[in-house]
Chains A and B, each alone.
Chain A
Amino acid sequence: MQVALNLGTININDQEVAKFIQNKSIDEIKSMIVELLKSQIKTDIPKKSQGKWGAFADRMSGLTTPEITQHIHTISLEMRDGFEFRDLNSK
């Protein structure tokens, strides 16, 4: 089943969010909306852990929230896109 969403105009007042999406394409934003909707659906994830790294995954899963995930992505983008080695003043 497919559903077409017509969301109209979305006004974004949050400056961080506005900055984050201003260079995104429409397709990227559509994809983000679909991922956000997916995250709202409760799914049963198999919890059966296998071995050392399955146990590690169990220990780590559920430590944070979607708000923190989004914040990490924003910060990571800021750090990686904004990172520059300093030009020497003595040049």
Chain B
Amino acid sequence: MNKYILDTDIVSYLWDEKSVHNSKVVKQLNNLNDDDIVGISVVSIYELTYGMDSFKDEKLKAIFKNALEFLQSDQDANIFSLDANGATFFSQLKLKYKNTTGIKSKEAKKNDLDLVIASIVMSQDAILISNDRIFSKLVKLEVNFKYEDWLK
């Protein structure tokens, strides 16, 4: 049994049937076992909710709202929250990231939200599914962080 956390970009491709990436995400989901667990992080819920609220086109906003509510109420989809267990993962990963890249504290702040997502994933002993390049860097730094890019 594996636990998968879909990042925001992957959810957007899954929702959008016209995206060239949709079939890749659908294919990967088709290959999962029934006892696998799939969900999204609470950070994605925050991003998607802000995205929905900030949409100026009322018609598209209504479509967006419906999709978000549909996902959140889906019988099989899980939402994974930030908890205290992730703190140590966050701390260790951030230190490794700063020490390895030599990046300054001010610049490293830009990746804090990515590190929070990675910490949720590690805390859940899950696999992050994303197309964001930062995670391909983080996976090389931390053995506990598992990541796959389904779009490759």
Contact = CB atoms under 8 A, between A and B. Distances in A.
Interface of A: 35, 38-39, 43, 45-46, 49-54, 56-69, 71-73, 75-76, 79-85
A48 to B, nearest CB: 8
Interface of B: 8-9, 11-20, 22-23, 25-26, 29-34, 36, 38, 46-48, 50-51, 54-55, 57, 60, 63-64, 66-67, 70-71, 74, 76-77, 109-114, 132
Given A61-B26, A80-B114, 7 more contacts: A45-B17, A46-B23, A60-B71, A64-B16, A68-B12, A73-B12, A83-B110
Given A57-B25, A66-B16, A75 B30 contact: no
A17 to B, nearest CB: 13
Q: State the main secondary structure of chain A at its contact with B.
A: helix
B77 A75 contact: no
Contacts of B114: 80
A52 B13 CA distance: 19
Given A51-B30, A83-B112, A72 B63 contact: no
A38 B24 CA distance: 14
Contacts of B48: 72
